Amino acid sequence: MKVLKILTCILILIFVSEVWSHVEIEAEDYFFPLEPVINFCKMADQCQHDFVPICGQDSLGISRMFNDNCDLYEYNCDEKKQYRHVKIDVCRYEAAAMERA
C-alpha cells in the first residue's frame, strides 16, 4: 500500500514538472518576484493629485521623476510598467550624474 502511494506521488511530481517546464511567462506578466500584482489603473482612477513631485524606480533600477503619486500610477497603468516610489535623492543623484557626463 505504501509503495503504491509513493509511486503515485512520484508520477504526479513528474507530470507537474513536465507541465511546468512548458509554461511560458510573458514579459509584461512578470513583475517583481514574490510581490503581488498591483492594479495601478484602479489606483490611478481613485487617486487625488497633490502635485508633490516624487521619484520612481522600476525593477531594473531605472528612475524618473513624477508630478505626484497619481502620475506614477497613471504612467504604470498606461505603459504597463512597475515603478515604485523611492527617495527623491535617487533621482537627484542620477540627475547630477547626467549633468557631469
The torsion angles phi and psi of 14, rounded to 5 degrees, stand at -65, -45
Residues of the chain with pLDDT under 70: 15-36, 95-101
What is the per-residue pLDDT for 36? 62
Spatial neighbors of 73 by CB under 8 A, at least 6 apart, are 40, 41, 43, 44, 47
Rounded Cα distance between 80 and 78, Å, is 6
Sheet holding 63-66, edge to edge: 63-66, 54-57, 84-86
pLDDT score recorded for residue 28: 42
Residue type at 28 in one-letter notation = E
Give domain 38-100's CATH number out of 3.10.20.30, 3.30.60.30, 1.10.3720.10, 3.40.50.1820.
3.30.60.30
